[in-house]
Chains A and B, each alone.
Chain A
Amino acid sequence: MIRIDSVTKRYPDGTVAVDRLSLDIPDRSITVLVGPSGCGKTTTLRMINRMVEPSEGTILLDGVDSRQQPVNTLRRSMGYVIQNAGLFQHRTILDNIATVPRMLGWGKEKSRARARELMERVGLDGALAKRYPYQLSGGQQQRVGVARALAADPPVLLMDEPFSAVDPVVRKGLQDELLRIQEELGKTIVFVTHDIDEAVKLGTMVAVMRTGGKLAQFAPPAELLSHPADAFVEDFLGADRGIRRLSFFPSAGLELLASPIVAVDATAEQIAAAGAAGAPYLLVTDADGKPLGWSEPRELTAGEIKTDRLLSYGRPFVTGADSLRAALDCAVLSPTGWAVAVDAEGRAAGVVSQQVIGEAIRGAHAERRADAEPGADGGEIQKVAP
Chain B
Amino acid sequence: MNVLNFINSFFSDNAHWQGYDGIPTRVGEHIEYTLMALGIAAAVGLPIGLVTGHTGRGGNALALIATSARALPSFGLMVLMFILLGLGMAPVMIPLVVLAVPPILVTTYEAMRSVDPAPVDAARGMGMAETAVLFRVELPVALPLILSGLRSAAIQIVSTATIAAYVSFGGLGRYIIDGLYQRNYEKVVGGATLVAAMALATLGLFWALGRLAVSPGVRRRH
Contacts and interface: CB of A to CB of B under 8 A. Distances in A.
Interface of A: 49, 51, 71-76, 79-80, 82-92, 99-100, 103, 132-134, 145, 148-149, 158
Interface string B127-159: 111001000010011000000000000000000
Contact of A88 (B119, B124, B127, B220): B119
A92 B217 contact: yes
Given A90-B218, A132-B215, A49 B119 contact: no
19 contacts: A51-B121, A74-B127, A75-B124, A75-B126, A76-B127, A80-B122, A85-B118, A85-B122, A86-B120, A88-B119, A88-B141, A89-B141, A89-B218, A90-B217, A99-B123, A100-B126, A132-B220, A134-B221, A148-B126
B207 to A, nearest CB: 19
Given A86-B118, A89-B119, A103 B218 contact: no
A85 B125 CA distance: 12
8 closest pairs, A vs B, by CB? A132-B217, A75-B127, A86-B122, A80-B125, A90-B215, A86-B118, A76-B127, A90-B140
Contacts of B221: 89, 134
For chain B, which range describes its interface: under 10, 10 to 19, 20 to 34, or 35 or more residues?
20 to 34
Interface in B168-222: 214-218, 220-221
A49 B123 CA distance: 12
Contacts of B137: 88
A75 B127 CA distance: 5
A72 B122 contact: no
Interface of B: 116, 118-129, 132, 137, 140-141, 214-218, 220-221
A149 B127 CA distance: 11
Contact of B217 (A74, A89, A103, A148): A89
B217 A91 contact: yes
Contacts of A149: 126
Given A86-B118, A89-B141, A90-B141, A80 B217 contact: no
Contacts of A132: 215-217, 220
A49 B220 contact: no
A86 B124 CA distance: 11
Given A82-B118, A103-B128, A134-B221, A88 B216 contact: no
Nearest to A151: B126
Given A90-B140, A134-B217, A82 B125 contact: yes
Nearest to A73: B127
Most buried by A among B122, B123, B127, B216: B127
Nearest to B129: A72
Contact of A82 (B122, B129, B140, B217): B122
Contacts of A90: 140-141, 214-215, 217-218
Contacts of B220: 132, 134
Nearest to B132: A103
B121 to A, nearest CB: 6
A46 to B, nearest CB: 8
Nearest to B140: A90
B75 to A, nearest CB: 41
A294 to B, nearest CB: 52
A96 to B, nearest CB: 9
A88 B123 contact: yes
A72 B137 CA distance: 16
A34 B8 CA distance: 77
Contact of B127 (A85, A86, A103, A133): A103
A66 B220 CA distance: 41
Nearest to A154: B126
Contact of A84 (B118, B123, B218): B118
B211 to A, nearest CB: 14
